[in-house]
Structure 1
Amino acid sequence: MRRGEVGAAAVLLALSLARGAGAAVQDPGCGRFEIVVRAATPLYRLPHAFLRPGSDSAWVRSRPWRRGTDYVLDATRGVFRVLGDPVPGDTIHVAACWLIDPPPLELQLNRYRPAPGVAAESAGVAPAEAAAPVRPVTRHDPSTAPAGAQLALSGNKTIAVDFGSNQDAFLRQSLDLAVSGTLAPGVELTGVLSDRNTPLTASGTTQDLQALDRVLIELKAPQGGASLGDVPLELTQGEFARLDRRLQGVRGEWSIGSFQATAAAATAPGEYHRLQLFGIEGQQGPYLLTDRDGGLGVSVVAGSEVVTVDGERMTRGESADYSIDYERARITFTNRRPITSATRITVEYQYTLNRYRRSLVAAGSRWQQGALSAFFQGMSEGDDRGRPLDTVLDPSDKERLRAAGDSAVRAIGAGVAGGGGDYDTVRVAQGLAFAYAGPDSGQFTVQFARVGAGEGEYADSTIVAGRSVYRFVGAGNGAYRVGRSLPLPEAHQLLAVGGGVRLGVAALELEGAASRLDHNTFSSLDDRDDLGGAGRATLRLEGKLPGSRAAVSSVLQARLIGDRFAPFVALERPFAEEDWGLAPGTSLDHQRRVDWTGSLRPAGGGELAARAGRLSIPGGFTSVRRELEWSRDGLFSTHALVSRSEGTGRGLRFADGGRERARLDLRLRLPWIEPALLAESDQRRFPSDTGRVGERFREAGLELASGRAVPWRLVAGHTVRRDSRAAPGGFLDRGLARTTRVSLEGPAERRLTLGLSYQHREVEPLADLSRSRSDLGNLSMRVEDPSRGLGGQMHLEVTAEGENRRVRKLTRVGAGLGAYDSLGNYLGHGDYDLALVVSPELDRVERAALSTLMTWRFGSSEAWRGSRIEFDFESDARRRGKLRLGDPVVPPGAVFTDPGLTRGSVLQRLEVELAPGSRASNLRARAERRVTADRTFENFSQALDDRSLTLTWRTRPLGVLSTALEGRSRRQIAAQTVLQGAALRRALGESGVRGEVVYTPHSRLRAAAEIDASWDRLEGQIEATRTVRLGPDVGVQVGSGGHLEVSARRAFVGGAAPLGLLPTADPIGPPRWEASTHLDHRVRESATLGLSFTVTDRPGRRTQSTGRAELRAYF
């Protein structure tokens, strides 16, 4: 069956299932929420408080979450706490029910005080006539909050000491604090502070403010506000001094009458950069983000990115448009946003500083009174040259920086040290050069500095053991030189002033800006070009035609941006240079431009717009652009655009450039169906000195969508696109692409919830393109039938990504001189050393991931209520080349043996629980098989197969006594292979039985005894390893606020010596003695003391002990 037929069959199946799904009555006190995970943020406040106990559930894309294991919920306050370390940017779905009319969290008791004289009269005593007159005074009771003040404070503070036999004592602390409420009528205060795992200093204090995980304190008043901590800053007035950053510092806002002002002072966590790139055909990612010089290895400030695809802003999240790895600066798009070779991707972000600490001061204001308006914006950002981050500058380095001027090529320090390293010297035609000898196998430690393409003698070739390797390519042929790149401290200031006036139908706005950018504050050389300026004038005319209700407008704008003007952000939208006939990546930050835009909006609807402009940029390029656009919404919606630009570059052999674009979009919006016709032609030519450069595509498509009267939203479309490139005789066709799209979305809050999206794309080569075929799809389904106890959910994802080529390089160094065996397993003492070689080249890998969960809950009697049968199936198949039809439901055997799968995993789990309320026959059964394989290395593969079966019988013969008997069986298989090298295959069988007796006479005491017997045997081994572990568990209440738990285990091992499934340096087998104790004691009403201690004793090894003392205060 072809994949197009599979997509059509999936649509028909979904429609047939939807036909039988009845609408459910929505409970106004129940609903779902979505939480986007933020880095280092464990607490999230839900929109509702006073949640119904037991009504909550949470899940992510891959699996459901368990209460108490993955998350905890404060039902009273509606605070959701995440346990563990979820992926930042992922989406958590939460379902819960709440009180529709909840009571207040706090009530203030007002004390009754009678007015003077009232108490005396009530007691029958007449007031004294000669009493002194009452004088008004101001009285305040410090224990009583002022009128209108109401603050809610919650959180905890923890101080702990970790110690052990193999480590020094280490002091740790953490703080979680949340405050919200009002300080006075109209004055609101909210704050969040999170400080996790920040070590205390010798003086007992923690790090400075920027070292905390998350800080945010906001104060709002009728005339202004202030924020402290992780604050966003947006300055949007004018065009030249706009700013949108995430900062760590303080921000204030103030408004009075028609005047508004904003000011901020902070440390900048990162440096702004905009990256424009084209997509790769059929590859959703990862796409690497770089610094401003194109270097890799940076990290992105969390939450600072703005991602657009073809001009449309994307949403972060694995269930949304893209996911981002902030640490490694990689972005991957989900299959909701298909990426092709024609896709234009723009990412604006801040990458973490690696040169100097940087501070930012900014202010902006606006005033408007009647027809007059004015604004001011200014900002200053600079590096602290006395506080470098990743290096230490000695006096010789500072002298080199003073003599370097603004040139980073001249700011290079010494970069060679003897005494061992990764490089040796070799003789070449120009003399001696450095050559890579292997990790720690050379005589020199050499650093390389990037100086730009064609300026150096070395080039980077690959990555070995996490470090870049450089090779000599000759003078003028590389981008690197031997030496240590010295960071240049920068200082950047910008000031913009503007104003406007409106007279009737006319409005005039003026703006002027000045900037100063010093690329090296150490040096006064090259400072003559630091200053720059820009100006803008805009004239608007708006009104109606005489004798008609048609509205017209005209906008004339002139802009002059000097060659040395330095804005803080890019002034033009992404890829705007193509509209003028310039190649992608050409900067428009320095230009002279005149634009005119006119529009006509007839009384019958629609809008006709005309645009014209002239542009010139440094270097001699001049272009003229004209555009006409019509749009109208209604029963028959139309959108048409015709654009043409012609430009000429001075001094170039092929000087002409330009763009000719035409687009048509026709839609008929009927109640039940909405057909549409789309057509577009786009031809671009760019000036060049080597040959004709340009591109052209022509595209046509049909689309069919369901109308507003249909509760199910169905969209289907097919497009054909022909791509061409410029050639001496015109344009040469390169390829023909055919794309089919289908999406289906069902109404929410029904027994069946369905979402489907599928795209099939084929590229047929006509000249120099290669044949390509890709399938992207999503299928999400959720079924609930509470009356029958049935439930299920399924999620299928099909996508394509890029994967780095990797090689495991094993080097024999002698018996006992290495740390690895011949397969690359870490042993601590081996004959080999291991190095991982990572190539920057990416191979296209198609991926199919399926997750299903089916549940049946039954039982109405007290003993059988809560009985359930659950089946869980999860698979993840990544294949070089094309996916196979059965890869979403890949069998375990294929994961273990199929060499075409670079990565594969499959999980099959069946779980049964019967009669959970029965005293004599509570039965649980669990059968599971998990298979994983990793073949991402070109010369190494590893596969694991783990099968297990567990049966548990629990009884409660008496109210104070309960028992559990468990039998288990497990079989594990491991296979490792090195290409043209060693191979390993092992199978380990395990069977065992465990018994437990628990005695709980009352809530102050719990005593248990456990015995566990197991038999382990490697395949081919005659004798098994017999292990018996037994010991008690005791929990007892200590005093009125303490609880002590003690556990001890003694192991007896007989038979063959224990062996692991894979060679490892970790101890194999259970410890001979293992004991742990934990004490929790409530010191005060809101403070607890915790002490824990663990001791482990293994034969032939030193006894190991670890402990922790913890004091936690709640408030």
Structure 2
Amino acid sequence: MKRTWKVHWIICAILPVLSVFGQNLNPRYHEVKRIFVYGDTLLLPSDVYAPSLVLRSNGVAADSCFKSSGQYVVFYFVCDSGEVEISYYTYPPDYLSLSQGLDRKLIQPKGAKRSDVQAMTLKTQNTGGLFDSDLAGISRTGAISRFVRAGSNQSPVLNSTLDLQLSGLLRDSTRIRASITDNRVPVQADGYSQQLREIDRIFIEISHPKRGKVTAGDYQIQNLGHYFLNFDRRITGFGLETTADISETMKVRASANAAASRGIFARNTFMGQEGNQGPYKLFGNNNELFIIIISGSERVYLDGMLLTRGQEYDYVMDYNTGEITFTALRPITRERRIVVEFQYTSLLYLRTIAYGELALESEKFQIELVHYDETDSRTQTLFQDLTEAEKQIIAQAGADFGRMRIPSAVQVEYSPDEVLYEKILQPGFGEIFVFSRDSTKGLYRVQFTFVGQGNGNYIPSNNTVNGRVFEWIPPENGRPQGSYEPIRQLLPPQSLSVSSARAAYNGGKFGTLELQSAFSRLNLNRFASGVASQEGFATRLTYGIDRKLGASRLQIGGFSDVMTADFRTVERVRQVEFQRDWSIADTALRGTQLLAGVHLRLTRDTLLNVFNEVSLLRQGDDFRLKYSGELHVNNQYVAINSRFSALKIQGPVLDGTFLRQLGDWSWKAGQRSSIGVRTDVESNLRSDTQQWIDGSYNFFQAEPYWRIYGNRGRNFELFALLRTDDTVYTGGIQRAAVSRGGGIKADWKFGKNADLGASVLYRHIRYDPITGQQDFAAYTGRVRLQQRWMKNALISNTLLETGTGTEPLRVFSYIEVPAGTGTHTWIDYNGNGIKELDEFEPARFPAEARFIRIFAPSSEFTRVEVSKISQSLLFNPVNMGQRWSGFRKFLTRFSLQSTLQTDNRRQLIRAVNTPVHLPGSGPDSLTLGSLILVRQTLFFDRTRSKFGWDANYLFNRSANLLAFGVEEVRSVEYPLNIRYKIIPPLLARLKLNYVNRETRSMNFVSRNFSFDEYLASPRIEFQPGEKYRTILSYEYSSKNSASALLSSHRLISEQYLASASRFVTTATIQYVVNSFTGDANSPLGFAMLEGLQPGQNFIVTLLAQRNLVNGLQLSLTYEGRLGSGLGILHSGVFQVKAFF
């Protein structure tokens, strides 16, 4: 509610400003709707822009199963489900209204004298909209809508949406940019939360080239010029930025921001697992499993290199579950160093941010003062309610977070919708919690917190209850065997402030000098008055000179910085791999640090680049000296890119050396090929006074390769791999593992008819017995092939992807949401009044959609091998048969379309994965997740309106790993669709279909069933003009299984009436008679009856839409159902929409 009022106040604030300007309407508006398709023809509203139409069925683009012609969508075959998602652009309601700049009376006859031609002034007619004034300089698009959903079995629900984009000039040089999105239906399924906090967006910016800019809403603030205060944050608030010229050569710049933080910065550092592409679970700063990552806020580094998000690039991120998966283009091995920096939503305290900057700039010098303050409110919490006693516990704990854990059990009254526990006495162990449904017992609501494997006494239990259940597991030899405890981890409000000053002087040929200093104050517990804040100081001095020496360039510089132990900043200060570069363990990065160094770089065009640096790091009594060098040579014979570093470590406890070399050495063999080798060598040896200590290692890696490159997108590389790893064992260095492998990388065009892209790696690692690990091998890669033959009459697209990864154990539950906004409905099959997991079904009607499915956080993963195949084939001989005649001409009336898509994940039990495996190719017990979609269609006269038919084969099989086992759904269909235009306004259709559906569940016996369906449906369509259409159809369906039998008769009448730009009305009446034998109150009965009742059923659907003046649109959707044994069920939605 607060969010909506904020939106309304902002709109009210800018309306008076915008009302004095003209309008510039964008003619298209985007719409996304979910509709139920009952027939094979869909009539679109009159304002749809047909070329923008996109359909999706089951989340997959279904562009190949329909054809749009004007206002009609004709389906070549029935999609996998009756529900499809339709996306399109619409014209504004007044798009047909007349708009002219000149009066027709001003047109002069041919040959008129120049003196008879009147002076004309161009005027633009205002067509009306939400803004009636002239907004000539501003382009705007979007709409605001309010809709009420009500029904006989639900309470009224009021929702609203807003989507507004503005861009243009207000007056003179003042420019506005705005994007406001507000959706009052913040629900989503298949995540950790039912709230999607990324829906609402407000951004308004008013700028002037000389006076600065004002920003309000959701935006980013960043500072990239300060070494000790480098950050990028997403905030919601208000910002002001301005500049002023003091003189011709000097100006002052100032900015201020006050906002609420949208997220908390976190950094996860971990090593990759051999052959595991993911997903990898990300954690919050306090090891929270339940985190929602702010989309687009992440930075992912692999071996220090920044990666790019996307399925076609390096990685994909699931923001709602906090999981990252690397694509096959980035093979992950045990040596890969992964760093993920991100921001995630805070659910504890309201966190405010204040950021200001003041700068004085001239040609020679710059002075900048920056202050950043981030504070948690002690009085305003978000999704937690702290009692005074809990606040006192936090205050007494000080900075010791371990003392902030409290018991989470709260005694409550019995509720069938909650997971409750009974407290019992376990001999020898004390009181424990046991799941209970006994309403006569004293029951507790218990929150279990993940504390790490081996640190808790509870584990998740496989249970059919709607909610996550934990069970107690006894310790062994006094050691806990679980990973959860019935406790709550309290967290205190904190604050951090950082002030930074920067002064830079540019002396031209004498070089540049820069000094930066920063001061920080961190309060770890704002409830604890006796805890002193941690204060730290840091300073950095740099100098550099850049001289041009003929065709060469010489750069010389140096730096020195000091950072105290208690200095803290918003994000990291050092480079991503600073600790590894200096061989510093995570626990050893403490104490005041002194870092200094000098460097020299010599470059000569693109032929030569030489870099040398000597630096030192001192921390207490620990002293480290490092030399770093780079050599880059590129001429007509060789190409060398090499980096080298040598680190010497001296300390009171240990000494050591760290040598590194990373290079790419190649020799050009002809104009289009080269032969080379990539090397990666490290030796990190650390010892105490007597022997090598743990953490010491050596490795050597070489990749010889042969590369072919050229123009027109032709690149090919064949490479081999050899790597040896040594580690410490019994005080000495011994061989630990040997890795061998090879692969190809290709991006090759075969003329104009074929494109090949490939990235494939095979790697086998053999471990020494001293490690206790098993040998492992993995194929990881992606191959893409596009082919075209016979003047594009035959087009083929192939995609293969293979690898290994993990499959998370999905533990889900269903929660109730406002009716019509969910995805599932609950049916109490056993009549006990308790919601159980096997009693939820996908909602067949929107009014019944009262529940959504959400996942519970889990850290349990199973190793799997992954194989994905995507193949599409389109054969349309009309392009190559334009000059054919006779029988060959007749053949061009046929066309074929075939698609195959598989995604198979099965448990990895061998030491090597199978590169390509189809679903069902192995034992069902190993399948943890699979998807196979097959669609084949043979068309005859596909584009002709007189007569045509299409024969189809559809196969769909999916299996998913859930907490209670693998659940599998399979369907096979053979639809045949025939159409014949009797006379121009009369069209006849016939649909014949055979369907076999099957479901299998490991734990729910009631969901193990299959049935066959035979369907015949004749249909008559009468359309005398564009404004009216009527459809009469009859459908007979026979379904049978081992325990049930259904004979169904369905009569359908559809009426459509429309006026080009005024109104659209669609009415559908269905009369269904179901003769059913079996248990209707069961999952099998629900699937066969499709959510209807045995006996007689009436379904009435009405859609009315009316376009009013000034860009207003009214719409009404009504659905009424009457079934045997049930009363009349009414549901409807009334919506008012205003276009900007």
In which range does the TM-score fall when normalised by the shorter chain?
0.7 to 0.9
Q: Output aligned runs, 1:267-306, within 5 Å.
A: 267-306=260-299
Taking structure 1 as reference, are residues 109 and 621 closer, same or farther at Cα in structure 2, changes over 3 Å only? farther
Determine the structure 1 residue equivalent to 2:142: 155
Taking structure 1 as reference, are residues 55 and 435 closer, same or farther at Cα in structure 2, changes over 3 Å only? closer
Determine the structure 2 residue equivalent to 1:490: 494
Determine the structure 1 residue equivalent to 2:576: 574
Deviation of residue 927 (structure 1)? 1.7
Is 1:362 aligned to 2:355, yes or no? yes
Q: Output aligned runs, 1:313-352, within 5 Å.
A: 313-352=306-345
SS of alignment partner, residue 1002 of structure 1: coil
CA distance in 1, matches of 2:664, 2:1060: 78
CA distance in 2, matches of 1:110, 1:227: 43
CA distance in 1, matches of 2:792, 2:616: 70
Deviations 1:792-835 (A, max 9, x none): 322221122212457999xxx998658699x956699xxxxx99
Determine the structure 2 residue equivalent to 1:946: 971
Deviation of residue 1076 (structure 1)? 1.2
Determine the structure 2 residue equivalent to 1:831: none
Determine the structure 1 residue equivalent to 2:25: none
Pick from 1101, 1111, 1119: which aligns with 1:1086? 1111
CA distance in 1, matches of 2:1066, 2:448: 58
Pick from 225, 234, 249: which aligns with 1:246? 234
Is 1:1112 aligned to 2:1137, yes or no? yes
SS of alignment partner, residue 308 of structure 2: coil
Determine the structure 2 residue equivalent to 1:794: 798
Check conservation: 1:613, 1:625, Cα contact below 8 A.
yes
Determine the structure 2 residue equivalent to 1:632: 633
Identity of matched residues, %: 19
Is 1:218 aligned to 2:178, yes or no? no
Deviations 1:1077-1106 (A, max 9, x none): 111112225222111211112222333221
Check conservation: 2:235, 2:259, Cα contact below 8 A.
yes
Determine the structure 1 residue equivalent to 2:63: 66
Determine the structure 1 residue equivalent to 2:666: 667
CA distance in 2, matches of 1:1093, 1:440: 43
SS of alignment partner, residue 579 of structure 2: helix
Q: Output aligned runs, 1:62-211, within 5 Å.
A: 64=61, 66=63, 150-184=137-171, 186-198=173-185
Taking structure 1 as reference, are residues 622 and 905 closer, same or farther at Cα in structure 2, changes over 3 Å only? same
Deviation of residue 377 (structure 1)? 1.5
Deviations 1:304-331 (A, max 9, x none): 1111111111111222211111111111
CA distance in 1, matches of 2:336, 2:672: 32
Deviation of residue 333 (structure 1)? 0.7
CA distance in 2, matches of 1:1012, 1:386: 64
- Match for 1:244: what amino acid? D
Taking structure 1 as reference, are residues 656 and 842 closer, same or farther at Cα in structure 2, changes over 3 Å only? farther
Deviation of residue 359 (structure 1)? 1.3
Taking structure 1 as reference, are residues 398 and 940 closer, same or farther at Cα in structure 2, changes over 3 Å only? closer
CA distance in 2, matches of 1:199, 1:757: 40
CA distance in 2, matches of 1:888, 1:741: 16
- Match for 2:897: what amino acid? E
- Match for 1:900: what amino acid? L
- Match for 2:701: what amino acid? E
Deviation of residue 526 (structure 1)? 1.5
CA distance in 2, matches of 1:572, 1:463: 44
Is 1:956 aligned to 2:981, yes or no? yes
Report the number of matched residues: 981
CA distance in 1, matches of 2:170, 2:949: 57
Determine the structure 2 residue equivalent to 1:1041: 1062
- Match for 1:675: what amino acid? I
Deviation of residue 346 (structure 1)? 0.6
Structure 1, 878-887 or 384-393: larger mean CA deviation:
878-887
Deviations 1:513-543 (A, max 9, x none): 111111122222112x432211111232443
Taking structure 1 as reference, are residues 820 and 236 closer, same or farther at Cα in structure 2, changes over 3 Å only? closer
Determine the structure 2 residue equivalent to 1:856: 875
Deviations 1:648-691 (A, max 9, x none): 454x4xx2344121233212345310222222321224678995
Check conservation: 2:633, 2:639, Cα contact below 8 A.
yes
CA distance in 2, matches of 1:1035, 1:604: 70
Structure 1, 459-468 or 1081-1090: larger mean CA deviation:
459-468
CA distance in 2, matches of 1:250, 1:426: 56
Taking structure 1 as reference, are residues 378 and 647 closer, same or farther at Cα in structure 2, changes over 3 Å only? same
Check conservation: 1:463, 1:839, Cα contact below 8 A.
no
Deviation of residue 696 (structure 1)? 2.0
CA distance in 2, matches of 1:520, 1:567: 17
Determine the structure 1 residue equivalent to 2:42: none
- Match for 2:1134: what amino acid? A
- Match for 2:859: what amino acid? P
Determine the structure 1 residue equivalent to 2:646: 644
Pick from 512, 515, 520: which aligns with 2:525? 520
Check conservation: 1:300, 1:350, Cα contact below 8 A.
yes
Taking structure 1 as reference, are residues 450 and 530 closer, same or farther at Cα in structure 2, changes over 3 Å only? farther
Is 1:877 aligned to 2:878, yes or no? no
Determine the structure 1 residue equivalent to 2:302: 309
Determine the structure 2 residue equivalent to 1:405: 398
Check conservation: 1:449, 1:480, Cα contact below 8 A.
yes
Taking structure 1 as reference, are residues 497 and 597 closer, same or farther at Cα in structure 2, changes over 3 Å only? same
Pick from 607, 615, 629: which aligns with 1:613? 615
SS of alignment partner, residue 393 of structure 2: helix
Determine the structure 1 residue equivalent to 2:775: 771
Is 1:682 aligned to 2:682, yes or no? yes
Deviation of residue 746 (structure 1)? 3.0
Deviations 1:737-779 (A, max 9, x none): 1131211113599443331111111111223132111111212
Structure 1, 841-850 or 1029-1038: larger mean CA deviation:
1029-1038
Check conservation: 2:50, 2:69, Cα contact below 8 A.
no
Deviation of residue 556 (structure 1)? 2.2
Deviation of residue 856 (structure 1)? 2.1
Deviations 1:874-900 (A, max 9, x none): 112112226999884627x647x6433
CA distance in 1, matches of 2:546, 2:566: 35
Deviation of residue 246 (structure 1)? 1.8
Structure 1, 332-341 or 174-183: larger mean CA deviation:
174-183
CA distance in 1, matches of 2:536, 2:811: 51
Taking structure 1 as reference, are residues 1091 and 716 closer, same or farther at Cα in structure 2, changes over 3 Å only? same
Larger RCO: Structure 1 or Structure 2 (Cα < 8 Å, ≥ 6 residues apart)?
A: 2
CA distance in 2, matches of 1:788, 1:589: 69
Deviation of residue 364 (structure 1)? 2.6
SS of alignment partner, residue 876 of structure 2: strand
Check conservation: 1:156, 1:1114, Cα contact below 8 A.
yes
Determine the structure 2 residue equivalent to 1:8: none
SS of alignment partner, residue 409 of structure 1: helix
Taking structure 1 as reference, are residues 265 and 1067 closer, same or farther at Cα in structure 2, changes over 3 Å only? farther
CA distance in 1, matches of 2:57, 2:513: 53
Determine the structure 1 residue equivalent to 2:1053: 1032
Check conservation: 1:1060, 1:1068, Cα contact below 8 A.
no
Aligned Cα root-mean-square deviation (Å): 4.6
Structure 1, 878-887 or 1084-1093: larger mean CA deviation:
878-887
Check conservation: 1:804, 1:838, Cα contact below 8 A.
no
Check conservation: 1:582, 1:685, Cα contact below 8 A.
no
Determine the structure 2 residue equivalent to 1:89: none
CA distance in 2, matches of 1:217, 1:541: 43
Taking structure 1 as reference, are residues 948 and 56 closer, same or farther at Cα in structure 2, changes over 3 Å only? closer
Q: Output aligned runs, 1:372-411, within 5 Å.
A: 372-411=365-404
Deviations 1:966-1023 (A, max 9, x none): 1111222344445xx96986441211211111222222321221111122121487xx
Determine the structure 1 residue equivalent to 2:696: 694
CA distance in 1, matches of 2:1125, 2:452: 59
Is 1:537 aligned to 2:541, yes or no? yes
Tell me the TM-score normalised to structure 2 length. 0.77
Deviation of residue 634 (structure 1)? 3.0
Check conservation: 2:407, 2:487, Cα contact below 8 A.
yes
Unaligned segments of structure 1, at least 5 residues: 1-36, 41-50, 75-83, 87-91, 95-104, 112-121, 124-141, 201-207, 829-833
- Match for 1:890: what amino acid? L
